[in-house]
Amino acid sequence: MQFEETVMGFFLNHQEKHHRTYHFLILMDALISAAKHIEHYYLTGTLKGNIGLTGNVNVHGDDVLQMDQIAQEITVHYLRSSGRVIHAISEESDEIVPINEDGRYFVYFDPLDGSSNVPHGLPVGFMFGIAKRNLDGHEDYHLRAGRDYIAAGMFVIPTGTFTLALKDAGTWRFHIDETMEFVRPTRMMLPENPKGWELSFNSANRPTYSKAVQSWIARNETKYAFRYIGALAADFHRTLSTGGMFMYPAIVNHPDPKKNRPQGKLRLMYEAAVVSFICHEAGGNGVDETGSPVLDVQPRDLHQRSALYVGSKPLVDDITRSLKS
């Protein structure tokens, strides 16, 4: 028989090695419990009729699916019961979600990212970033740059995979086993050999990108395979394994100027900064439309958007030169 190290065994060793408190473990246990519940509801959703629309529209103008609401409720429940979270910022909530005044952490999350995949039962993401409350100083500000995160992760639901990055301690991938435990921590580093690298972006939007990005794509598209499923966690999961680059450029040349998105589409705190943090710990990089590191962007509002170019350093560096030229 083969036995694997569990995610909790991994955390206990990590916390002991780095002389950390147990509070972070309690928070991680809450996030993992939430992910397992969301996964369960997702898998049984069609049978229970949970994947339809609620008739509500969220802060971004997207139709809210029943599954979005279920995932939000589950996550807030577990964060609350952990007792370790002061505030949460969620894609599904216009306002900051107060959780527990004595909490130590801020959590930024999207409990069901990639909703257009839901009616098809295809992969979606549960993405999160964690910053620590400033326990020694006076300031407890929740608008933190990704550089300030202590951890970030993504569950690809319902595939049973979990990728987690711990500050200065690497990016790790776990798989769910037959007892529903996440097991087998595997250190992830972006492959250096460009042979298998892939590009991932919404090709239908290509004419709407800046001229610099369009020419970069024209110069590079034949060198790499192209993959896109439309859920950031699933697309980036692949980028991390194969190397290459995921991008969601700013929309600046839309035939209907009202549909331009010069700020990009993805949300900074619970999408772009999360994958940039994971990528950074795996030896890669993530930049925005100005070619600046996403992790350095100081958010000014909860649901701020960002363009994103994330993946293997040589490709991100190369497109950064085009973005800055």
Tokens of 141: 């500000």
Q: What is the DSSP letter of 62?
A: P
Q: Does 73 bind ligand AFP (CB under 6 A)?
A: no
- Which listed residue (30, 86, 89, 232) binds ligand AFP by CB under 6 A? 232
> Do the strands 149-157 and 161-166 form a parallel or antiparallel pair, or are they unpaired?
antiparallel
- Chain-centroid distance, C-alpha 71: 15
3-state helix, strand, coil in the chain (%, to 5): 40, 25, 35
200: contact with ligand AFP by CB under 6 A: no
Q: Which amino acid is at 9?
A: G
Residue 110 and residue 125 in contact, taking contact as beta carbons nearer than 8 Å: yes
Q: Counting beta carbons within 10 angstroms of the beta carbon of residue 239, is it exposed (0 to 12), middle (13 to 18) or buried (19 or more)?
A: buried
Integer Cα distance of 162 and 256 in angstroms: 39
Tokens of 292: 């600046």
- Binding segment for ligand AFP among 76-84, 108-116, 137-145, 216-224 (CB under 6 A)? 108-116
Instruction: Tell me if 116 contacts ligand AFP by CB under 6 A.
Output: yes
Residue of 103, 111, 114, 264 interacting with ligand AFP (CB under 6 A): 114
**The only residue of 230, 291, 293, 314 in contact with ligand AFP, by rule CB under 6 A:** 230
Site string for ligand AFP, 250-279 (x = CB under 6 A): ---------------xx----x--------
In the bound state with ligand AFP, the residue whose beta carbon lies nearer, of 198 and 235, is 235
Per CB under 6 A, does 129 bind ligand AFP? no
Contact between 166 and ligand AFP by CB under 6 A: the answer reads: no
| Contact call for residue 45 and ligand AFP (CB under 6 A) | no
Q: Residue numbers of the site for ligand AFP (CB under 6 A)?
A: 62, 113-116, 202, 230-232, 235, 248, 265-266, 271
